[in-house]
Structure 1
């Protein structure tokens, strides 16, 4: 997929057979100010440019075990307007969550009932709104978040991973696809 590029390229990664393998660098994260008072834009984001509405999907495999270990998908208009979502390890367990940043970051998180070592994420942009879904089996896709996003001439979308407290999370991204928006009804879980 030559159209993808790194924002904060990790020291160790390779892409072959439609699979992206990444080992995170230390103290990497995406966050802006809220609660902690700091801004970080050091996480690993393998992205491609988009200018039209779309559906982006990926399968993520990793063994999360250290506070704030995270991997999933990301969407960015600029460094102050972005969304990241996936599994993040906190409170002693992997949780499903998302961070929407529009100047400052929010954080919505909750228990994950599936196998956090193997899950899917899907993001659809349609009419300046983001529809975020996840799946434990690649078949059923519950809604995780629906939110407006700032209008821009172009965006970046792709996969991300970060380890704010350490280095060395090994992540495999596969089944990566970017298509026109799927057009499914909001509560269609397929």
Structure 2
């Protein structure tokens, strides 16, 4: 994590620990982020350990967890406010861990897909640049396929960080590491490094 950046909790969980740049979290009961679509409810109770950032940037992290129950999820989150945000995660759905993203502005969409690697250990990278959001995932920390490319409002300040939720239970243990915020990547869209 960047030493000069002030990190803080949105919905701090009862159990967590930060040691040597490794954040371990155990989710509280019935936590989630969702706005209206299909289910009709609004939830803003998931856990995010993040920081405020200005301008264009890239955020990257490694996630380790054992996803076994419906909607268990952990990954990253980018937020303007309760009505405009993006989360990306491994999420347990249809009896398997899947890679997914949810864009909310102001209602939530959900885009799950088959994850080709070991869902117990993966990486996510988000680049926000000139009103465009590029979301990538990795199974090895070296090769970064595109997960999502979309517009995202240009604002002066964002909240970005490590996210986890368990809408149907409590007790998912997740470890986040290699969290870093840097200048926005200038790599071309099909450069997967």
TM-score by length of 2: 0.97
Partner of 1:75: 78
Displacement of 1:163 in angstroms is 0.1
**Is 2:153 the counterpart of 1:150?**
yes
Q: How far apart, CA to CA, are the structure 1 residues paired with 2:6 and 2:105?
A: 26
Stretches of structure 2 that go unaligned for 5 or more consecutive residues are none
Partner of 1:125: 128
Residue of structure 2 aligned with 1:86, choices 60, 77, 89: 89
Partner of 2:143: 140
Partner of 2:26: 23
Q: How far apart, CA to CA, are the structure 2 residues paired with 1:129 and 1:28?
A: 28
Q: Deviations over 1:111-131 (max 9, x none)?
A: 111000000000000001110
Displacement of 1:150 in angstroms is 1.6
Partner of 1:114: 117
Residue of structure 1 aligned with 2:168, choices 165, 168, 179: 165
Partner of 2:39: 36
Displacement of 1:86 in angstroms is 1.2
RMSD: 0.8
Partner of 1:57: 60
Q: How far apart, CA to CA, are the structure 2 residues paired with 1:62 and 1:124?
A: 24
Residue of structure 2 aligned with 1:96, choices 99, 102, 114: 99
Q: Deviations over 1:14-33 (max 9, x none)?
A: 10111000000010000000
TM-score by length of 1: 0.98
Contact 2:75–2:88 (CA<8 Å) still a contact in 1?
A: yes
The runs of 4+ residues in structure 1 deviating greater than 2 Å are none
Residue of structure 2 aligned with 1:45, choices 44, 48, 65: 48
Q: Paired residues, what number?
A: 190
Stretches of structure 1 that go unaligned for 5 or more consecutive residues are none
